Structure formats: structure tokens, C-alpha cells
Amino acid sequence: MSQPATPTPADRLLNLIVALLTPMFLWSAEGDVALARIAAMETVKSYGLTGSDRVFRAAKIIAFDLAALSSLSLAMADDLAVPLVVRLRGNANSMDRAAERNRTALEQDGTAATTAAKTAHLTEDRAAASVAEAQKLVQDAKARTQPAHQPPVRTAHQPPVRTAQQPPVRAPMSDRQRQTAWAGAMADVAAEFSAGLNTLPPAARAAEIIRIDALTSAASALATGTVPIPPVNRSPAER
């Protein structure tokens, strides 16, 4: 004869929460404890949660919502004094706010858990390597697009020509130089984001690494010219 499986800590926690919620379902189960327990179990399971903190939050949402409905139901009795009716409705309002706070916290926990799962492969070391690679590609692109300086050619007996001092004429940027400038700006912002990653909480760190990955990917694509150059509205002097 096989022995029953030993309950896991998660199973024990779920059983404890269901036991605490069961009395709140007795009114709908017409006093049937077994039926009330089933109702409590199915309600908790409908959230589909794992982890003690998240299961507790779901249990509190259920309890606060039921308490709010119970207070509102009691407040509908015809023979209650006005102060008691007001008190019951105030209690229902407090329970509703408590349920909403836990619901918001549960949604935030779920978002943070989803983000962490999606960014598990995006580590701090990989982010730093991506920033360094993007910066190197930008430097190489700047070296390729930098115009070579050619001094004016003079004959051996030609004296230097002295002209009135004029402001230097700035040559218009080419499309490739403009693209490289955008790549450099993105790589610089990514480097700033990566500076304090180790001081951020897990959820914020994951979100920051996503930004770094997007910035470095765009910077690398711009620096290497693997993306088309967007059209630029030039002034008449540049045309």
C-alpha cells in the first residue's frame, strides 16, 4: 500500500489560508463546511499564483472583498440605527480600499516577476560588454568619417598670404557623420545608465538593462551603417 505524499511547504501554506477563509464562505454554502472549504480553495486557486507573499496577497484581497460585501449587506437591514448603518458602510469602504491596495501590489509584483523572467539573460556583465562594444564601433565610425586635413600648397618663394581674420567655415555634416553622431549619443546614454546598476533593486535593474540593450543595439546599428539613414531636411546652405 503506497504511503500518502508528504505535503510540501506550499501545500501547507495553501491549506492554512483556505482554513482561514472557509468561515467567510459558510453563508454561501448554507453552513456546509466541506462545501465552503471547496469554494475557498477554488477562489484562491483562480489567481494561479506561486510564492508565499503573492498567495497571502490574494487571500487578503478575497477576505477584504468578502468583508466589504458583508458589511454592506448588514447595512441594508431596516431595523438598524442610522449611526450603525453609517459605521457599517464606512467599514465596507475601508475594506474595499484595503483590497484595492493589495490588488495593486499584486499586479506590481506580477509585472516585476514577468520582467525579471524576460531579462534573466540580460546580466550586468553583458550590459557592460554591450556598452563597450557600442563605444568602440562609434570610435571606429568617427575615424572613418573624419575628413583628412590637407594644408594649402605654396611654392618655395611664395610668401604666406595674409588675409583679414574670418570665422572658420564649418563644413556641413554628411549623412554618415550625422548617423555616427546619433550613435555616439546613444552609446553615451547607455554608459550613464550602466554606471549604477548594482545599486538598483531587481525590478528597476532589469528595466534599466532593457534600456541599455535597446540603446546599444541601436548605436551599433547606426555606427556600422546596417540601418538606412533617415532623410534629413537640410538648409539651403547645406544643399
Tens digits of pLDDT across the chain (239 residues): 456 567 777 778 888 889 989 998 988 888 899 999 999 999 988 888 777 778 888 899 999 999 999 999 999 988 889 999 999 999 999 999 999 999 998 888 777 777 667 666 667 888 888 899 999 999 998 888 776 555 555 555 555 555 556 565 566 778 888 888 899 999 999 999 888 888 888 778 878 888 898 999 999 998 888 766 555 555 555 44
Residue 107, pLDDT score:
85
Residue 85, pLDDT score:
92
Residue 94, pLDDT score:
94
Are 13 and 36 members of one domain? yes
pTM of the predicted protein model: 0.50
Are 112 and 130 members of one domain? no
Cα separation, 204 vs 193, in Å, equals: 11
Residue 224 within a domain:
yes
Are 41 and 114 members of one domain? yes
Are 22 and 98 members of one domain? yes
Cα separation, 22 vs 41, in Å, equals: 8
Residue 59 within a domain:
yes
Grid coordinates of 56: 497571502
Are 106 and 130 members of one domain? no
Are 33 and 135 members of one domain? no
Are 114 and 189 members of one domain? no
* Nearest alpha-carbon partner for 193 in 131, 144, 132: 131
> Which amino acid does the sequence have at 172?
P
Cα separation, 19 vs 78, in Å, equals: 33
Cα separation, 118 vs 133, in Å, equals: 23
Cα separation, 210 vs 115, in Å, equals: 9
Count the domains in the chain. 2
Residue 144, pLDDT score:
85
> Which amino acid does the sequence have at 219?
A
Whether residue 58 contacts residue 49, with contact meaning beta carbons closer than 8 Å, is answered with yes
Whether residue 57 contacts residue 105, with contact meaning beta carbons closer than 8 Å, is answered with yes
Domain span including residue 181? 121-146+174-232
Grid coordinates of 50: 506561486
Are 125 and 106 members of one domain? no
Grid coordinates of 79: 431595523
